[in-house]
Amino acid sequence: MTVRRFHQVDVFAAEATKGNPLAVVHDAQGLDDTQMAAFARWTNLSETTFLLPPTEAGADYRVRIFTPGGELPFAGHPTLGSAWAWLQAGGTPREAGVVVQQCGIGLVRLRQAGGRLAFA
């Protein structure tokens, strides 16, 4: 069995249990759709994301977003929470102050302002 790290984060809150919960699985290469969906059901959260190497030029990483019922091309709090978790795990953006996430709708630019992330 492969061991993978994951964060469970509270998006939109500075205090635990006060925000929107999100599970973020790091280094998700090798997981197929069925495994991602099963893990998302297991977390029983509204969304679970999986971080992967980008496949589009200009992206810092790629994310896939799953609910217990299926995959989403994009969602707000999973985008922000995934970027935060990616940075916390040592991710380094190609452009200072900007994180570029690849997801089902294409490239999404996020700006870093201090310790916060916002849609650019």
- Asked if 15 is an active-site residue, the reply is no
Q: Is the full-model pTM beyond 0.85?
A: yes
Question: Domain 6-119: which CATH class?
Answer: alpha beta
Average pLDDT, integer, range 56-82? 97
State the catalytic residue, choosing from 47, 56, 71, 95: 47
Looking at the DSSP assignment, which residues form a beta bridge with residue 62? Answer: 52, 102
- Using one digit for the tens of pLDDT, what is the confidence trace for 11-53? 988 888 899 999 999 999 999 999 999 999 999 999 999 999 9
**Torsion 31-80-20-65 (CA) sign:** negative
Domain boundaries in the chain?
Answer: 6-119
Q: How confident is the model at residue 120 (pLDDT cuts 50, 70, 90)?
A: confident
Distance CA 45, CA 68 (A): 7
